[in-house]
Amino acid sequence: MANHSQQLPGAVQAFWQGKALFLTGASSGLGRAVVEALAPLGVHFGLVSRREALLAELSDRLADTGSRFWYRAVDVRDRDALYRAVADFHRQAGRLDVVWANSGVGAKTSWRSWDWDAVETCLDVNLKGAIYTIRAGLEVMRPQGQGTVVATGSAASMRGLPGSGIYCTTKIGLHYFVESLAAEMPEIRFCILHPGFVDTPINQDMPNRPWLMTPQKAARLMLTAVARGRFIYIYPFQMRLLYRLVRALPSRLYLWGSHRTVSRASREKPEKQNQLS
Ligand SMILES: NC(=O)c1ccc[n+]([C@@H]2O[C@H](COP(=O)([O-])OP(=O)(O)OC[C@H]3O[C@@H](n4cnc5c(N)ncnc54)[C@H](OP(=O)(O)O)[C@@H]3O)[C@@H](O)[C@H]2O)c1
């Protein structure tokens, strides 16, 4: 396996060196790439997701990197289990430097294809699960008087996107939650990350994924942004420009443009509407 941490700038490596990091959604995609990138830096990992076998495989594969691995199968919708996991990891590591709420699911929730199970799951995992994770981390960090909170949002938080209302709601809701905490707690460092399209299982059924990047590249960008103390980080840069442009549009113009796009897409491909994850 390539040593991904070597591609991180020296100051970024110095920030992450030896950190105690509690990360949800570590079994796949972005979370797994973050672990692989940080493993050579002597990190003490607390890894959580539902698929324990994948966490075990990752930890075993990286065992000789010098990092330490603690992992547990936890569904982030289970608040008590999540609180126990953070407390147990903290007891073992002796401190908690970074808590990263990264678990997430996609949900196609257009008016035409509404599925209450998908709606509830998306709200519970992406929003409530992230709030539980961050709150559990802050229970430790507040008494410490320091720490870093990271949340994986999405570029889908740019506006209410057609067909993705629930997913967009979870990600902009998470953004505002983190922002309100940051406004309240200057002693804690906060970072909200808004990825564009990264090649992970969450979006591999989508027909169009503009500016697609690898999880390894995404991990490097995110780890650099956190180390540099960025509060909001939207990537890649093309998505950052689009995000700002779309947010700046007057509502009437935005709604007109998105309605035209949806109408054209449903005429061309009735079953294949794109969705930004
Ligand atoms: N890939 C992209 O293009 C993209 C773009 C914008 C934002 N994001 C966000 O990035 C984050 C990571 O997604 P990804 O791209 O890495 O997708 P992924 O490969 O599908 O990973 C999703 C992760 O979330 C975990 N998860 C899902 N439900 C969970 C639950 N109930 N409890 C605990 N963990 C759960 C999964 O682990 P288990 O299944 O083992 O539980 C998995 O580790 C998500 O928040 C996603 O919304 C991704």
What is the DSSP annotation of 176-236?
HHHHHHHHH-TTSEEEEEEE--B-SGGGTT-S--TT-B-HHHHHHHHHHHHHTT-SEEEES
Distance 122 CA to ligand 1 centre (A): 11
| Predicted local distance difference test score (pLDDT) of residue 264 | 78
Answer yes or no: is the C-beta of 170 below 6 A from any ligand 1 atom. no
> Is the bond into 236 cis (omega within 30 degrees of 0)?
yes
CA 68 – CA 87 distance, rounded (Å) = 17
Based on the number of CB atoms within 10 Å of its own CB, is 140 exposed (0-12), middle (13-18) or buried (19 or more)?
buried
Is residue 86 one of the residues assigned to a domain?
A: yes
Does ligand 1 lie within 6 Å of residue 76's CB atom?
yes
Domain presence at residue 35: yes
**pLDDT at site 6:** 62
Give, for ligand 1, the residue of 22, 23, 24, 30 to mutate: max count of ligand atoms closer than 8 Å to Cβ: 30
Q: CA-to-CA distance for 235 and 128, rounded, in angstroms?
A: 24
- For 192, the domain range is 7-268
Judge whether residue 272 has pLDDT over 90: no
Mutate to test the pocket of ligand 1, among 103, 205, 233, 240 (most ligand atoms within 8 A of CB): 103
277 lies in some domain: no
Kindly tell me if the per-residue pLDDT of 275 is higher than 70: no
What is the rounded CA–CA span in Å between residue 118 and residue 136?
A: 25
Q: Which atom of ligand 1 is nearest to the CA of 124?
A: 31
Following CA atoms 275, 258, 235, 86 in sequence, which dihedral angle do they give, to the nearest 10 degrees? Answer: -50
Atom of ligand 1 nearest to the CA of 24: 34
Backbone φ and ψ of 106, nearest 5°: -90, 165
The proportion of the chain whose per-residue pLDDT surpasses 90, expressed as a percent, equals 88
Render pLDDT for 200-219 as a digit per residue (tens, 0 to 9).
Answer: 999 999 989 999 999 999 99
Assess contact for 134 and 181: CB atoms under 8 A.
Answer: yes
pLDDT of residue 270: 53
Is 196 within a domain? yes
Q: Return the top range by mean pLDDT from 26-40, 109-123, 253-267.
A: 26-40
CB distance 200 to ligand 1 below 6 Å: yes
Question: Does the beta carbon of 147 sit less than 6 angstroms from any atom of ligand 1?
Answer: no
**Is 271's pLDDT higher than 80?**
no
Q: How far is CA 115 from the centre of its chain?
A: 23
Measured from the Cα of 171, ligand 1's closest atom is: 47
User: 80-136: per-residue pLDDT in tens?
Assistant: 999 999 999 999 999 999 999 999 999 989 988 899 999 999 999 999 999 999 999
- Whether 51 lines ligand 1, by a CB cut-off of 6 Å, is yes
Residue nearest atom 1 of ligand 1, based on CA coordinates? 198
What is the rounded distance in angstroms from the CA atom of residue 274 to the CA atom of residue 271? 10
Q: Is residue 210 part of a domain?
A: yes
Determine, yes or no, domain membership for 2.
no
Q: Is the CB of 104 within 6 Å of ligand 1?
A: yes
> What pLDDT is attached to residue 73?
98
Q: What pLDDT does residue 59 have?
A: 98
pLDDT score, position 113: 86
The predicted structure's pLDDT at residue 112: 86
Q: Quick one: average pLDDT of 151-161?
A: 97
pLDDT of res. 3: 61
Between 275 and 148, residue with greater pLDDT: 148
Residue 212 Cβ contacting ligand 1 at under 6 Å: no
Least reliable range by pLDDT among 30-44, 182-196, 250-264: 250-264
pLDDT at residue 269 greater than cutoff 90: no
Distance 58 CA to ligand 1 centre (A): 16
The tokens for 173 are 């809701």
pLDDT for residue 51 is more than 70: yes
> Residue 181: pLDDT above 70?
yes
Cα gap 23→37, rounded to integer Å: 13
* Enclosing H/E stretch for 240: helix 237-248
Ligand 1 close to Cβ of residue 31 (< 6 A) = yes
Residue 274 lies in a domain: no
Judge whether residue 20 has pLDDT over 70.
yes
Q: What atom in ligand 1 is closest to the CA of residue 76?
A: 32
Ligand 1 centroid from CA 182, angstroms = 24
Q: What's the confidence (pLDDT) of residue 250?
A: 97
Q: Is residue 251 part of a domain?
A: yes
Q: Looking at residue 145, what DSSP letter applies?
A: T
193 C-alpha to center of ligand 1: Å? Answer: 14
Range with the poorest average pLDDT among 20-29, 122-131, 211-220, 257-266: 257-266
CATH number assigned to the domain comprising residue 150:
3.40.50.720
Number of compact structural domains in the chain: 1
Q: What is the per-residue pLDDT across 141-152, written as a single tens digit (0 to 9) for each?
A: 999 999 999 999
Summary mean pLDDT of the chain: 94
Q: How confident is the model at residue 273 (pLDDT cuts 50, 70, 90)?
A: very low
